[in-house]
Chains A and B, each alone.
Chain A
Amino acid sequence: MTNTWYLYLFFAAALVFAGLLGLLGKRNLIKLFIAIEVIGKGISLLLVGTGFAKANILTAQALAITYIVIEVSLVATALALIINIYRTSTSLDVRKLAKLKG
């Protein structure tokens, strides 16, 4: 069972790291948010994979569903914010946000 757990943890860590690299390197706001989504996928995989390996799949599923619900709420709010930012600054460049005053 440790081998299965190792497999899921390995790929979950890869997803989280890919997301972090995207967050550090990209400038487009939507791309940054896609990177956050990728990190979220890694966390989901970690939760369910650990539950599967430790024979606690029911609780892990409940936690994964809770996370998905939170994710939807987060996505709706963040995309609404991105649209509002675009209307104000007519750009999705995250560097231009630093120049906003007011």
Chain B
Amino acid sequence: MILQTALLIGLVIFSVLAIALKDLIRSAISLAVASLLLGIIFFRMNAPYAGVFEISVVAGLITVLFILTIALTKTGDEVRESKLVDVVFPIVFVAFLVIDALVMKGLLGKVPALASGAETGSFGDALWRGRTLDLVGQIAVILAGVFAVLALFRKRDKHD
């Protein structure tokens, strides 16, 4: 429990760093570390498949895509951020954490509990039989993403 809490605190710290750091490459790497920690948290929650996906896809592939984009947009660092935000962000965030700690416990009792009982079978049954429509949707989403990227990077005609 203590290790899990430490991992969760690390996850929040690296996520906040990813937003707050000025350098974009460091931001992307912080995001990757946060994903890695989230993957380890998933492993410890008996969710190994979600953990593997989180580490390989989110910490690996998405970080590569981010770094590639940062390399292709070299002057991206030159965007001037508001200095007021750097001051206000930590204060508001800490205030929210305090409110979160006070209010969340009360909210938990009001969330209606799921009526389902304990699960049986393997993860394969849950994914392939229980969520078949989701899988079809995933294929559609991947195809939509591929076509969107193709459309965005298509060669321009001479008339354009």
Q: Please report A residues at the B interface, Cβ cutoff 8 Å.
A: 2, 4-11, 13-15, 17-19, 21-22, 25-31, 34-35, 37-38, 41, 44-45, 48-49, 51-52, 54-66, 68-77, 79-84, 86, 90-93
> Chain B residues near A69 (CB, 8 Å)?
138, 141-142
> Chain A residues near B1 (CB, 8 Å)?
4
Could you tell me the distance in whole angstroms from the C-beta of A14 to the nearest C-beta in chain B? 5
Q: Please report B residues at the A interface, Cβ cutoff 8 Å.
A: 1, 4-5, 8-9, 11-12, 15-16, 18-19, 24, 27-28, 31, 34-35, 38, 41-42, 45-47, 49-50, 53-54, 57-58, 61-62, 65-66, 68-70, 72-73, 75-76, 78-82, 85, 88-89, 92-93, 96-97, 100-101, 104-105, 108, 113-114, 116, 118-119, 121-123, 125-127, 130-131, 134, 137-138, 141-142, 144-145, 148-149, 152-153
> Chain A residues near B35 (CB, 8 Å)?
41
